[in-house]
Chains A and B, each alone.
Chain A
Amino acid sequence: MNLPFPFGFPAATQLYLVLLVATLLVHMVFMHYVLAGTAYLACGRLFGQRQAADCGWQQRLVDWLPFATGLAITAGVAPLLFVQILYQRGFYTANLLLSHRWMAILPVLLVCFYLLYLQKSSWIARRAWVWRIGVIWLAFAGFGFIAWSWTENHLLSLDEAVWAELYAAGGLRYATAGLLPRLAAWFLLAFPTLAVELFWQGWLCGEPLDRPASESTRVLGLAPVQRLAVMGLAGLVGGTVALVAYAATLPAETRAAVTGPVGFWWLSAMGLGLCLQAGVWGVAVRAGRLGRPLAGLLTAGWLLGLAGLLAVREVIRLEAVDLEALLPQHERAAGIGGFPVFLIFATLSAAAISWCVVTVRRGLSSRV
């Protein structure tokens, strides 16, 4: 196959691959906010109550994390649906092999969700500082467990050779060389996303991020934009190192697929996206502020990097699975009616969501 992903695959497979990557990207936007946001808050809390009060990002995260979690779960439903069409056997088998361990992510998610609500409640505000540290660290540990479980589940779904042996052993754990670097890559690359999102949240709330910061907004001597830039850069560097480490664990033919015609353009897009982000954050560190044009470039780099990353992820998976056996399933699924109905209602729902946001903004401004 000499065409870039997803071209070169049969039309039905292309359709589901595009839908999977597109909906997964939307899920990532919120999931990264939750994962990195909880980690940021957990670490930020350790610096003490006064600094947390000074740091607007922490307040914002406390305020928005529950909603972002709800959006992450809701947005996660669509890729979960399309993965069942594309890779049903592998996905189901990995679920079944990890069994109770895998299913534990659900009660953990439930607890974490409520901990985030607890974090913004007046009840916790009246408690000692250590309570707030405990609650957010517990939530972070929970989300970390979920991230680990997803990574393990994904890698196991690609490794058919170990399925029967793992089942017989009944161990409910799958340890492989790629697990830690892959988990680290996803975790660390969540921080650049969080940095971009916090920037735009601040912008929408009217914070003067394009102007030099006042002393009162500095924490540890860093302006708000500089703090974001440091977080974004650390995530980019750490994530890239972890990606390289993960690549080293892949079989040579998989690496060849990623660097070959199928994956090369997406790998390049990912690299370009990461470099763009690093460049813009570098400028922001020096200047202590970030104007709108550069922020636009940063956002473009972020989206490009994320899209490239997700496409490369699928190229790796497609190399590992028996695609020929899956194609008839994709063909059959695509032949089932209902796609136009989905498109129509998805468009109407998107329009209604936009209308809601605009109407609420108008409603709020009319009351001011």
Chain B
Amino acid sequence: MTPVAIAQRRTPDPGGGPEQRRLELVDALLAAGDGEACAVTALDWLARHCGVERGLCAVVDRAAGALVGVAGHGLPASLAAAFRIDLAARDHPLAVVLAGHEPVHFRRERGKSGPQIVTPLGDHPFLAVPIHSGGGDRPIEHGLLLLAGAAEPAREREACWAAAVLGIRLAALELPLGLAEERRHERELTLLRRGLETVTDPILITDAEGRILVANRRAEQLLTAEDRMSEGRRRAVAMNNMLFSAAAFTGGPGDEPTRRELLLVDPIEGEDLLFELLSTRFEVGRGETGTVSILRDVTDLRRASQEIEDNYRRLRIAEARTRAERDRLDLILDAALDPILVTDREGNLARLNPPAERLFAVPDAADADAAERRVRANDVVLTSFLSELAAAQSDRLRGELTLTDPVSGESIPMEARAANVVSRQGEVTAVVTIFHDLSEAVEKERLYEQVKRHSEELERRVREATAELAEQNEVLRRQTLELEQASALKSQFLANVSHELRTPLNAIIGYAALLLEGISGELAEPQREKLTRLESNAQSLLAIINDLLDIARIEAGKMALDVLSFDAVELIDEVMAEVEPLIDRSRLDVTREITDEIPELASDRQKVKQILINLLSNALKFTPRGAVWVRAGFDPATDLLRVAVVDTGTGIRPENRISIFEAFGQSGGSVLRRQGGTGLGLSISRRLARMLGGDIHLESEVGVGSTFTLELPRMSMES
């Protein structure tokens, strides 16, 4: 509330307003016995005639140096009684009004800062009217009337008049307020305030509309803020107010205290605070109510209970897990194929899985007696094994024992492993014994031994066989080597022999030539004839020796290849020219046919020529009549040159078609001798053809003719 200047006014004119009403006030004031009664009377009158809705009358307690409320209208008596302004604070707006002797308007102005006045009138604009007496230079100040609702000049004038009359009356009563009474009030009030302040929980009293009338510091901290405070704090307070109002005033109309939870923000720390709000309504008087609210901070309490809840939940989960673990363990035990049993310290069976049950529980077998005996026997075996464990230093024991199948009576070799289950305190709480049927293992062991024996035997045999093989290999290798050496020696021998044979043969031929030329004198015709025969046979012998030398060289691998590019057609022509004398002598029709475009060959020209001469001269020699064709063609797909020598000769019998390619394997030696061949020509030709990467093929029909085909790759690898 801030003071608002109003038009300067003299003391209200006592003669203004309806006479009747004024007389009524005066009468009532005169009837009132003390100041408080006067105050009540005045406020009543103002309410009735001046539209005052709320009013407070405060008087100066000179002893206390304070302005204190003595009566109220439209507000709880307790609030009126609680009103107090220390007059030592001379700058208090109401103190200023009191000293200024002029009525002042107070109204809340938005955004305007200034001293805040908290009055029981709340937020309503009000008129503060000083009550004084004496007038002139030394007026006596008696107090203030705070009036809300009389907001029009005429009424205000009446109010000022009433205040003046009240002042006169109070002066007449010479401060008749019961001071003792007042002090008692004051003490109670102080006690109440101090008491409230000592309570750490926020406590506040609000009016029916939620306005804070009284609040202890803690409550103020949460619910009130001043403009100088930080934005955050003010916002927190605004929010708290909203939350608090919503919580405190949604209760039912009854006087029963309501309890609810309220989450507020600590405006200073910013933390969430959980309160239990206890609100109680009470009657203030004149049908008005107020509310006492006590907020109990249960933040820590809630936290603690939350923790307890969490712990409890965790405990439940752990419990469930343990249970699941136990169930799982049971499942595992039951699923295990090996007999497992748990006994207590005394050796009493506590838990058996099904395989263990078959050994240690009497079955519903036909022969129950026998089964029972066997079960008892098993028990004895187990007990003695466990007593061994009990006597042992260790917590574990392994042993091999023999149990009996209670149903079949079969004995079962078993491996037993027993272990003490020891508690944290080191006490043996149970013993777990696991059996493992060894009969299978025993059988496996036997089989394994057998397999091992067999495998060793097999290995030995393989070793022996391998050794034998290696030995044979070595023998073979040695034999191969010896053969190779023998072959090489043979070839070398043949080469040497050929050379040695040839030299004298050359001499024979040479001398024959000298004689035939008549160098050593004229020859008679019979002599010439014989000498010609001699020369011819010498030539045949020389041809044989040359062929032998070729074979020997080929077999010794000493036949070098000399690969060059050359024209195959040209070569064929050359061959034909070379055998011209033979052709002439044969009187055969010899035709050369070139069927394809023939590319240049990369091969050993000399050897190809040798082959072709051989094939062609053979054809000429062995064809009594008819024709001979030399057909050359090239197949790009296979990259092969084919030269076929076709004759209409006697043909070669199927059984001879292979042997004619073998050295000295000619078809019919007599024919050959008659024709003057060596029988080595085809063998050499085929070998040469193969050396060049090709071959010679034969097609023949007896009485029709033969075709020898030389096949050569376009490119020969140089060996």
**B is bound to A:** no
